[in-house]
Amino acid sequence: MERNGTAGKHGLEGDPDLQFLLAGVTLVKIRSHSWKKNRFFKLQEDCKTFWHETQKPFRRNKTFTIDDIDAVRKGRQSEGLNKHTDPSVEDQCFAIIFKGRKRNLDLMAANEAEARQWVDGVEKIINNMRNLSHQQKSEHWIINCMRKADKNDDNKMTLKELKHFLRHINVEVDDTYAEEIFKKCDTSNSGSLEGDEIRHFYDLLTQREEVDVIYGNCAKTEGQMSARDVLGFLLNEQRQQASMEDALRLIEKYEVDETAKQQNRMTKDGFMMYLQHEDGSILNPAHKEVYQDMSQPLNNYYISSSHNTYLMEDQLKGPSSTEAYIKALMKSCRCVELDCWDGANGEPVIYHGYTLTSKVLFRDVIKAIKDYAFKTSEYPVILSLENHCTVEQQKLMAHYLISILGDALVTKPLGDTMPSNFPSPEELKGKFLIKGKRLNKLDAAFNNNSTIEEDTVSEEDEAADSENGQKAKPKKSKIKLATVLSDIVIYCKSVHFHGFEHAKENQDFYEMSSFKESKAFNLADTSGTAYIHHNMDKLSRIYPAGSRTDSSNYNPVPMWNVGCQIVALNFQTPSKEMHINQGRFLPNGFCGYILKPEFQRSLSSQFNPNTLTKGPWLQRKTFHIMVISAQQLPKLNKDKQKSIVDPLVRIEIFGVPADNARFNPMWNEKFEFDIHVPELAMVRFLVEDYDSTSQNDLIGQYCLPLTSVQNGYRHVPLLTKRGDVICSAGLFVHLMVIDAE
């Protein structure tokens, strides 16, 4: 078994960029204007770990791995580089952005060519890792664990090293069993395993009995699966609409044995490959692309939305940062919030007013948004302005929005006549919409008699609204609004909400209200149907209560149930609510827009999530589920090397109140739920490390809409608390969603 970075190099052998990284180079590490120091960086032999020198005593070497990296950015594309370096060195700079809260690494190379080689090399390895097959990833993971266990680096494994390795990959084996496998594999009787012996040991270890049984039942052709057997499996077990072409396509795609492939057969290895890839995943592969109709009016979609987007942590003293906008936009967030205040030197700034959070320049935020808005999704981004600025600084805000965003900014209605409803996400591709106050009605954009100069509008200041809980009515502060800023508010004019009847008679489609969570939940409980009708031609934005100073989140599901589109959450806070949000927007190409169900769009609908009367929304299903096994769960507590993960699986359903449920299945235990409104139901898998003495630790989670679930034997990938994929880890389940009797 080759153990020197096969996975990292796979297909990159001899690549000059890779050779350059392996040789290493001195770079300038930048922390501030005055802290700029030379540090030697190199890629280690495993082609996965970077080493760099550090001057800190007791820490002679500092490392990070490819898995820790979120992105590499060429140029001065991080806050630190932007602030602490000169534009003249743009081409020499690059930044390594880490997942989670680890601090960016801001670096400068000696020249442009070296910077480019660094960025290209790292990106190649990252793409390479992403494209590894599941089989290779799984082996890569095992090999990595073995390398850690091979204490003396002699590429051989003694029984002691082997036990250490087993603990590392969470395989609980008693000593006699470990010795047994060891003896079986140590054919040379040398007292240690090497080469093929390690491979044999790996095979014995990763044998999956549950898959053997399923394969055994389906392989009816000389011990293998013929194309007809594969088709039978797809139709009967996976309950898919499938043809002989589909069966042959899967053999072609996943079979590893060339002889079997030529005979149109699938071996057990090929079958395992199929189960572990997207065709065997719980998420319907057809939903990984944009598959919904994107030509309907904007208000017919749920829109992935962030609150206090500028914050990296909490709302009292956390840092504000352009990085927070980039992270949210890269997660397909399509509505971001900007709290704008007067700053020094006449420059508007963004921060959480009246608190100790740091400030960031308005223009820097707009630049970052322009650069990153459409990298993950091409559909429109709404900039929600909470404006506390004086007229002079508002004029500067308008100037930055118009000059930086250019043609991408919507500054007048599409078409030549006054619209009566929203354009579609399709028509607004690559565009920015401003949400904020407007001095007059939109039709003023068509008749040139709008001579309004600055005027006052009341600013429902969300911050004030929330400090004193619900009881105290906030003082309606009047602010003067600059005409130039007012004029670029087209489809998202903020107005105060005075009740559904008042809105029906007085509000135009482009006039939208923001609701604090408590108010919105109350309306959803007491007037669900009216709320749904309100959202059939207008937009609603919901935001977390200001009392959530820790930036915690509320459950978005009840808000989607009544058709609210802009359900804003604190993206910076990893939480169950963010997992649900990530799951909601996972299908449809992860584009940040999900078409609402028909019964939330049709004017004749009398749907109310709280009292389920008969109607097109009632499509009762029975959801059968069995959790069969878990694979390669990571060890959380590195200090407790002796401890083995004791996985506890929890399954949760979120939807209309009648469908909410949760349970902890035992392995291979069959469960079933009744689902009344499948189009609004979300399923969440949670794997925790059970601990009888303290709170369980989260190992991984995965959430998706019930309408995107595939039937049959499926693998469920697992994500970290922050939503990053955990390499090779997963659950193996059997599930069926069928019409209820």
Residues annotated as binding site for Ca(2+)?
A: 308, 337, 339, 386, 644, 646, 689-691
State the catalytic residue, choosing from 140, 168, 287, 352.
Answer: 352
For the annotated binding site, the residues are: 29-56, 308, 337, 339, 386, 435, 437, 514, 541, 644, 646, 689-691
Q: On the CB side of 693, how many CA atoms lie within 13 Å of its CA?
A: 0
Nearest by Cα to 298 from 380, 378, 375: 380
- Would you tell me how many other CB atoms lie within 10 Å of the CB of residue 32? 10
State the catalytic residue, choosing from 307, 533, 534, 734.
Answer: 307
Q: What are the angstrom distances between the C-alpha of 63 and each of 20, 49, 50, 54?
A: 18, 7, 5, 10
CA angle (687 as vertex; 682, 693 as ends), nearest 5: 130
Tokens of 363: 């223009």
Active site includes 307?
yes
Under 8 Å between Cβ of 291 and 283? no
Distance CA 401, CA 552 (A): 30
Going by the DSSP 8-state scheme, the letter that residue 589 receives in this structure is G
For the annotated binding site for substrate, the residues are: 29-56, 435, 437, 514, 541
Going by the DSSP 8-state scheme, the letter that residue 310 receives in this structure is T
DSSP-based three-state secondary structure for 156: coil
CA angle (269 as vertex; 264, 275 as ends), nearest 5: 90
Nearest by Cα to 309 from 357, 270, 247, 345: 357
Tokens of 593: 């827009």
Q: On the CB side of 619, how many CA atoms lie within 13 Å of its CA?
A: 14
Distance CA 170, CA 638 (A): 12
Nearest by Cα to 591 from 397, 388, 334: 334
Residue burial 203-239, b: 16+ Cβ < 10 Å; e: rest: eebeebeebeebbeebbeeeebbbbebbbbbbeebbe
User: Strand 682-689's sheet: what is its strand order?
Assistant: 661-663, 647-654, 682-689, 697-705, 712-719, 725-739, 621-631, 670-675
Q: Are strands 93-98 and 661-663 parallel, antiparallel or unpaired?
A: unpaired
Distance CA 463, CA 340 (A): 12
Nearest by Cα to 290 from 425, 427, 421, 414: 425
Active site includes 168?
no
> Which residue type is seen at 3?
R
Q: Which residues are catalytic?
A: 307, 352
